[in-house]
Structure 1
Amino acid sequence: MSPQVEKITHDEQLRAAYKIREKVFVVEQGVDPLDEYDEHEKESSHFIAYLKGEAVGTARWRVTPKGIKLERFAVLKSARGKGVGQALVDAVLKDIHATPGTAGKTKYLHAQLTAVPLYAKFGFEKVGEVFEECAILHYKMQLAK
């Protein structure tokens, strides 16, 4: 069964997305909850991924002064390797392209080292050197034009 991704439209979905982020980032990776949840929650477009009816992944995107930032991609450990991450990236990119005012803006993200190959499949390329964010190594990646 392939993953299903939906744009979040109600509070129940958003609560499920926050629980996924808490399990992946706060519990598993040790990110401080104050760093995980930020002032950009309300302005972001959020997504949730389901596998066999269970919420297993999430992501969001938002407009920034530098372009469009894709972020907070999280997949529960039990669902990794099952196409959830790919389905999320695909859905987020399709939503961005369907949103008025996004054409021509730089699409970028901060990829944890283990996720670089996933984003590369969609045409993202590393920009600059590796850096640390929340005590985790990342590369800035940008969608090739």
Structure 2
Amino acid sequence: MVRYTNVSVRQLDFPKGIDDALKVRIAVFVEEQKYTLESELDNHDEGSYHWAAYCDKENEDGSIEKNVPVGTIRMIPKPGNIAKLGRLAVLNTARGLYIGQLLVKELIDFCKKNDYHTIVLHSQYPRRGFYAKLGFVIEQGEEIFSEDGTPHIRMFMRNI
């Protein structure tokens, strides 16, 4: 069994710096969840902010790989100091280590420090509870909609 230690989160530079984020996104969204590569590479990376979570990975043979990308998140700036959280992904072998929560909290802290007052996201409907635990809410009148063939719901964090 693979074991991860020494979790760290770093903001990435576009374009060269987001290669680690793209590796995680492709592994999770394309290979695991079966979205198309075209839908994953959606032309919103430029002009967005990106973070990746890294761990040291202890393999079954005892070897250790340092600074392996295991998670990522993206924030798209919107008019009126609104941030759109998206592309949160954690490798299936690294789930359960609270890496997703660390990434969301990093994005929230960034928004607070940079005068964003609202964060909006489109949650895959079955994963809405994850975001609710972090303070995001489904506002009255929001309905489930399809995004790339998957049910989603819009959620908000206001007055951050």
User: SS of the counterpart of 1:18?
Assistant: helix
Distance in 2 (CA, whole Å) between partners of 1:109 and 1:132 is 14
Q: CA deviation at 1:34?
A: 1.3
Q: Of 136, 142, 148, which residue of structure 2 is paired with 1:124?
A: 136
Work out which of the residue numbers 135, 138, 143 in structure 1 matches 2:149. 135
Rounded to whole Å, the distance in 1 between the matches of 2:133 and 2:68 is 26
Report deviation, 1:10: 6.4
TM-score by length of 1: 0.88
Gaps of 5+ in 1: none
Match of 1:37 in 2: 41
| Amino acid in structure 1 at the alignment position of 2:70 | V
Alignment: residue pair count? 142
Higher Cα Rg: structure 1 or 2? 2
Is 1:58 aligned to residue 72 of structure 2? yes
Corresponding residue number in structure 2 for 1:112: 124
* Corresponding position: 1:69 with 2:69: no
Residue 11 of structure 1 and its aligned partner are, at CA, apart by 5.4
Q: Distance in 2 between matches of 1:39 and 1:78?
A: 28
Deviation digits for residues 38-82 of structure 1 (CA, Å, limit 9, x no counterpart)? 222110000000122321000110112472100000100001111
Report percent identity of matched pairs.
34
Q: Residues of 1 paired with 2:126 and 2:91: CA distance?
A: 15
How far is the alpha carbon of 1:37 from its aligned partner? 1.1
Shift in Å at residue 130 of structure 1?
1.6
Match of 2:112 in 1: 97
Structure 2 Cα separation of the partners of residues 21 and 42 of structure 1: 15
